[in-house]
Structure 1
Amino acid sequence: MGVQTDKVRFNVGGKIFETTATTLANAGRNSMFGAMFDDQWNFRPREINDEYFIDRDPECFPILLNLLRTGKLHVLPSIPEKLLYEEALYYGLLDNVRSAKWGRFDGNKLKLTSSVKGPALHDCTAIRASPDGGCAVAHGSIVHVYNWMLEEREPLNLDYRIVNDIAWMDSENIVVSAGQRLGEGYGGMGLFSSSTGELRHRYEVKSQTAGALCFNSDGKIFACCGGTSSENGIGVWDQLTGKQVDIYKSTSGRFLGNAGKIEWLDRSNCLFISALSPWGKDSHVCLLDIRTRKKLIWSWSELAHIDGVVYDAIAMEESNSVCLVNEYEDLGFLDLRSAVPSIQWKPSNLENRKYDQTCYPKLALHDGQVFCSMDDGISVFSGPDKVLTSSLGRSCGGSIRDFSIGGDRLFVLHNAENMFDVWEAPSPPLI
């Protein structure tokens, strides 16, 4: 009987490497190495002379192994970055590489690292960050998909329907909603492969258009469904079967189906719905409790805004409030606990800020920080009082059409030059 050991030996492309189970455990359960351990991260004893053969590049393996040992990424100039990332993806170590390369996401530390030029001018309308550091850009009836190396993959074709919204189910699956095609009465919604562009499932949309999208942790897809039919409201689909299982309609108007943004709030088990008009009329913000069957448990609406038109809203569950932004980039707050909520404005103190009439101000919330786009820059508000702490901007690219945060990156889609910028936090200095 051989000697039992915690040592693990690999033969990678003909080169021998030795490490320990403790080092490999730093790869995480979802990595290729995670399959070698039981649920308690105990390595099954093997003979000391046993080795695992892996038919991969032997030059990248020691870089990734050292990353697991030290948490630091040391890449030789002779190793192409693309090759290293492909190897990291194979071993399931891309998150480890990203953490070491980019550092922890912080809006006050972001630096512009790259810009990607789009295929045509003025036609891109939305950008959505993927969980693994890539993104998707809506361009007419096409969605252009970029991987974590910012290389364009096969585009998603919506069959001449104009894209309304994009949502990443995970890093490999994208749901896209679209309006009706010319000459047809109904819109569409489909599930696509982010790597091949293949249409994996087509969802039935009974109303004239499918708009804003979101998911919840129970495997449900929510989409705003606008139109003149009785199906106007927010439709619900099952992710596994693809079948529509419910629709929530409004008894006080048509704003549910025409909402520009919906978000699932995990702690509240509610849908946050924002239907804001750029003309300052028929603006609504509400919470919908799906457990009580189509009941609005909180709402705010106002036909005219004394302090400027409200353009976007985001829910802030931790503070039980809703953050708004108006045309002057002033932030406003609504208390979710108030039966008759009113806006408490906080001036941004930014002077002479204007915006392109086709690029309205937008908001995003990430790790307690509020991000707000205006003209060609993004302001970052931090702390419990949401104080302006930094501004991100550039000298070219034009007004900001849309922006999105995901995969430790901020993606900013510009209007005039139809390009998107990538902002990242620098990695910690090597000691």
Structure 2
Amino acid sequence: MGVQKDRVRFNVGGRNFETTATTLGNAGQNSLFGSMFDENWGLQSDAITEHFIDRNPDCFAVLLDLLRTGELHIPSNVPEKLVYSEALFYGLLDHVRTAKWGPFDGNRLHLARSIVGRAPGDGTAIRAGPDGGFCVAHGSMVHVYDWMLEEHPPINLDYQRVNDAIWVDPKNVVISACERLGRDDGGMGLFNALTGELRFKFHVKHENQVKSYTGGALCTDSYSKLFSSCKGRSNEYGIGVWDQVTGKQIDFFYEPNGWSLGDADKLQWLHRTNCLLVSTMFPRKDYCYVSLLDFRVKNMVWGWCDIGDPINEERRVRDAIAMEETNSICVVNEYEDLGFIDLRGSEGTVRWSSRSRLMKGQMPDEPCYPKLALHDGQLFSSMNDSISVFCGPEWVLTSRLKNSRGGSIFDFSIGGDRLFALHSEENVFDIWETKPPPII
């Protein structure tokens, strides 16, 4: 009778299905099936009770087979988007995503799809969401896509130019924008990614007065804090800190003389040291400034500038990223030369590793500035129309990602086990995924 107790029968939209509690257990406690049975997935009666669900039976068959085999097979007569919608109802989206692509690996990425954006003009930034979705900024508009690549209502900033965007969770995105001349509606706001509605704005207070400011680069830490570079009209130049849940200002680091924190291009939170990496690059400034801020002691604990670096007199640094595993910072110039700065050294000297010999062909007339990203121990660097992947202790070039359509890569972002690349022409953006490993 043990086998009898394990059997479960469903009537889904008038069609009968029979499976086992063991198979349903693969759905997890957060699924609809997890709420139907006890925590041990055991049925308490010898009799088989039929459970009626008023949903699409064809999609249920696909999802039940997914729980049995771990593989996703969608018949040609079943709309793929309908399967995703039903997976959302049953709480099985994570299972569908896992079946569609495996763990992220830069050397195993394949181009899953290229999309031509519908916004006029070139895109300015692309940001990956935590669940496989993404958003693309075009001027004063931010277009949001879910992991199924369905577009949600766009976020319209009413002619304010978008500077940066960051996901705080799968349903909310923070956007920084320029202050408009004569108006106080710049700064930052938290928007519902599903509806495009503004939930609240992040204010800057100085001497108990709310100030207008331009929000710049964004990042978050592990404790629900939001950081942004701020450029105001009077004394509010520096890095602001807010509670991303309530929107209340927590702290502000005012810009010391000689550094350009308010114009920062990139912020990165370092979890091990509890410091904030702040980078301001050419052409926003004549030289690159990289610093580490420690809000616990209200001090800049480390800084570096490429003034006087002979290699960068004509090859200025375009991006920087901290690598906590090796206690170093990686910088890249316009020829994809990678430089490494040891954070434990006091002089801040750069060990350069030339990559220009790996580039083929002529530089384009309007090259895009290279960008850096670090993900799962792999280093990524965009250059012209491709993205290079570097691995190992010596950061050896192991693969290149390239799509011949769309021109040079303006920006790219990694998240939700996907890589998204935004091209400079035709608003083309690519979605790169890792194929799932074969099930033996």
Give the TM-score normalised by structure 1.
0.92
Partner of 1:297: 301
TM-superposition CA deviations, 1:41-92 (whole Å, max 9, x none): 4236444444443322111112212222222222222221111111112222
Q: Is the 1:4–1:46 Cα contact (8 Å) retained in structure 2?
A: no
Instruction: Give the CA deviation at 1:16.
Output: 3.5
Q: Matches of residues 388-407 of structure 1 in structure 2 within 5 Å?
A: 388-407=397-416
Following the alignment from structure 1 to structure 2, what is the Cα–Cα distance between the partners of residues 28 and 341?
A: 50
Match of 2:242 among 237, 254, 257: 237
Q: Aligned pair 1:144/2:148, yes or no?
A: no
Equivalent-residue separation in structure 2 for 1:35 and 1:193 (angstroms): 28
- Residues 291 and 304, structure 2, Cα contact 8 Å, conserved in 1: yes
Helix, strand or coil: the match of 2:58? coil
Match of 2:423 in 1: 414
Question: Deviation string for 1:278-335 (max 9, x for gaps)?
Answer: 377342212222222x222222122243222110011111111111111110111111
Contact 1:281 1:302 in 2 (8 A): no
Residue pairs, 1:191-230, within 5 angstroms: 191-205=190-204, 206-230=211-235
Structure 2, gaps ≥5 residues long: 205-210
Match of 2:169 in 1: 170
Residue 35 (structure 2) pairs with residue 32 (structure 1): no
Q: Take 1:172 and 1:153, find their aligned partners in 2: how far apart are those partners?
A: 11
Match 2:256 to one of 251, 256, 272: 251
Is the 2:128–2:414 Cα contact (8 Å) retained in structure 1?
Answer: yes
Contact 1:355–1:374 (Cα < 8 Å) also in 2 = no
Q: CA deviation at 1:207?
A: 4.6
- Unaligned 5+ segments in structure 1 are none
Contact 2:11 2:50 in 1 (8 A): yes
**Partner letter of residue 362 of structure 1?**
K
Deviation at 1:430, TM superposition (A): 5.9
- Paired amino acid for 1:99: T
Please tell me whether the aligned partners of residues 278 and 310 of structure 1 are also in contact (alpha carbons under 8 angstroms).
no
Quick one: which amino acid aligns to residue 241 of structure 1? Answer: T
1:127 counterpart letter in structure 2:
I
Q: Which amino acid aligns with 1:375?
A: N
Aligned to 1:42: 40
Q: What is the aligned partner in structure 2 of residue 179 from structure 1?
A: 178
Q: Which moved more, 1:221-230 or 1:277-286?
A: 277-286
Letter of the 2:61 counterpart? P
Which residue, out of 293, 317, 331, partners 1:288?
Answer: 293
Query: What is the TM-score when the length of structure 2 is the normalising length?
Result: 0.90
Q: Which amino acid aligns with 2:358?
A: L
Q: Give the equivalent residue in structure 1 for 2:110.
A: 111
CA deviation vs aligned residue, 1:103-154 (integer Å, no higher than 9, x gap): 2221112222211112245431000111222211101111011122222210
What is the SS of the residue equivalent to 2:276?
strand
| Corresponding residue number in structure 2 for 1:155 | 154
The residue number in structure 1 matching 2:393 is 384
- SS of residue paired to 2:103: coil
Aligned to 1:323: 330
Task: Give the secondary structure class of the aligned counterpart of 1:291.
Answer: coil
Deviation at 1:7, TM superposition (A): 4.2
Change in 2 beyond 3 A, CA 1:29/1:343: farther
Measured against aligned partners, the alpha-carbon deviations of 1:328-382 in whole angstroms (never above 9, x if no partner) come to 1011111122222211111113235635646211011111111111111111111
CA distance in 1, matches of 2:381, 2:289: 20
Conservation of the 8 A alpha-carbon contact between 2:373 and 2:380: yes
- Between the aligned partners of 2:115 and 2:305, the Cα distance in structure 1 is 39
Percent identical across equivalent pairs?
Answer: 59
Q: Distance in 1 between matches of 2:378 and 2:366?
A: 26
Q: Number of residues paired by the alignment?
A: 426
Q: Alpha-carbon deviations, 1:225-255, whole Å to 9, x = none?
A: 1234212111111122211121112324342
> Offset at 1:424?
1.6
Amino acid at match of 2:115: V
Using the alignment, how far apart are the partners of 1:139 and 1:290 within structure 2?
33
